[in-house]
Amino acid sequence: MAITLPFAEATSVGSPALNIAIFASFVVITLAIVIRVSSGKKTAEQYYTAAGAFTGRQNGVAIAGDYLSAASFLGIAGAIALQGYDGFLYSIGFLVAWLVALLLVAELMRNTGRFTMADVLSYRLKQRPVRIATAISVITVSFFYLLAQMAGAGSLISLLLGISDWGGQALVIIVVGALMIMYVLIGGMKGTTWVQIIKAMLLIAGAAVMTFWVLAIYGFNLSDLLGGAVETSGNPNLLNPGLQYGKTETSKIDFLSVSLSANDYVGHAKGPDSPEVHDIALRTDRLIEKFLLYVDKKVGLSNVLLVLSADHGVAQHPHVGLQGGRAAGGVPDGAPMVA
C-alpha cells in the first residue's frame, strides 16, 4: 500500500546551497548556546524550570517563540488566506486555550512545587498507575501533534534545500526531529528557553519586514490591501464570516457579553446612598436604553434573548435606613462572631 505524505514538490526557493549554509549556521550557533548555558550541575529544578534564571519578559518572549511555530506561520496564514475571517477566528481559539491552561493548570501546579502533571497526581494517588497513564496520554497526544509539526517543518526545509525525492524528505524530518531532541536533552529548560527567545526575535523581525513590504506595495492603505486579498482569492465573501463556521443553524448563534463595571466601582468608592451612585445608575439606564434600541433596529428584540446578571447585591447602611424611617438593624459593636 502506497503512503503519500504532504511533502514539497520538486521546486525550490532561492539557492539550495545558500539555504543549507544558513540552516547549518543557525543550528551550529544555537547548539553552541545550548551547550554553553547547560554547563554545570543539573537538578530537577534546573532541568524543568531553569532554576528561575529568566525574568518575566524573557519567559514571555520564549512563550511567543513557542507559539510562532510552523503552525502559526504556515497553518494560520493558510487558514486566513483560504477562509478569511473564519481563519482569523480560528487563530484566536488556541490563544484563548493557552490562557485557560495558564490560569487553571500552570499556576496551580507551580504552587504545589511539582514539575509535571504526573508529579502532581502521584503526590495524592498511587504513583505507578498514574505515571503509566500520564506517559501513555502524553505520548499519544505528542505523536499526533508532532506528526503535523514535523511534516510541515520537513516540507518547508525540503523546499528550501531543493530535495524532491521521498527518501530525502523523510531523512530531513528525521534530522530535524533529532536536533529538537538534542536541544532538550542537552540544554534542558534553560537551553530550550534561549532557543525559543532567539527564534522569536528572528520570526518577529521577519514578520515585521514582510508586513512593511506588503503594506508598501499597497501604499500603506489597509483597505486596498484587503480589497487586493479579496480580488486575488476570487471569493467576494472572503472577509465575511461563514466560510468555515456557521454552516448550521446551531453554529450561527451569536453571543455577546457586555460588562458594566462603573456601578460597582462607584458603589464601593462612594457608598450605596451617595449622589454619585444615583448618578451612575441613571447613566447606566440610559446606556442600556440606547443599546437595546440599537439591537432592536438591527435584528429585532424578538430575536434576542437578554440575560442580566450581577456578581453581588448592595444594601443600605442600617443607620441610613433608620434615618429614613425604615426598619433596619445590624450586629452591635463588640458582639461575638461565630465562623
209 plus 271 within the same structural domain: no
134 plus 203 within the same structural domain: yes
pTM of the model: 0.60
Residue 244 lies in a domain: no
pLDDT of residue 265: 80
229 plus 266 within the same structural domain: no
269 plus 213 within the same structural domain: no
Grid-cell match 517563540, residue found: 65
pLDDT of residue 3: 40
Chunked mean pLDDT (size 10), the chain, 339 residues? 44 71 84 77 68 80 78 76 82 76 75 76 82 88 79 74 76 81 79 85 88 90 87 84 72 69 79 82 87 85 79 67 67 52
Give 43-89 as a DSSP string: -HHHHHHGGG-S-HHHHHHHHHHHHSSHIIIIIIHHHHHHHTHHHHH
pLDDT of residue 223: 87
pLDDT of residue 212: 93
Grid cell of 270 as nine digits: 462612594
Contact (Cβ atoms closer than 8 angstroms) between residue 169 and residue 155? yes
284 plus 147 within the same structural domain: no
Grid cell of 83 as nine digits: 477562509
Residue 199 lies in a domain: yes
**Total number of residues shown for the chain:** 339
184 plus 311 within the same structural domain: no
Residue 190 lies in a domain: yes
Show the domain range for 185: 16-233
Residue 335 region, left (φ>0) first, then alpha (ψ -120 to 50), else beta? beta
Grid-cell match 505507578, residue found: 128
pLDDT of residue 115: 73
pLDDT of residue 302: 82
Grid cell of 120 as nine digits: 502532581
Grid-cell match 478569511, residue found: 84
132 plus 278 within the same structural domain: no
217 plus 274 within the same structural domain: no
- In total, how many domains does the chain have? 2
272 plus 188 within the same structural domain: no
Contact (Cβ atoms closer than 8 angstroms) between residue 48 and residue 116? yes
Contact (Cβ atoms closer than 8 angstroms) between residue 76 and residue 87? yes
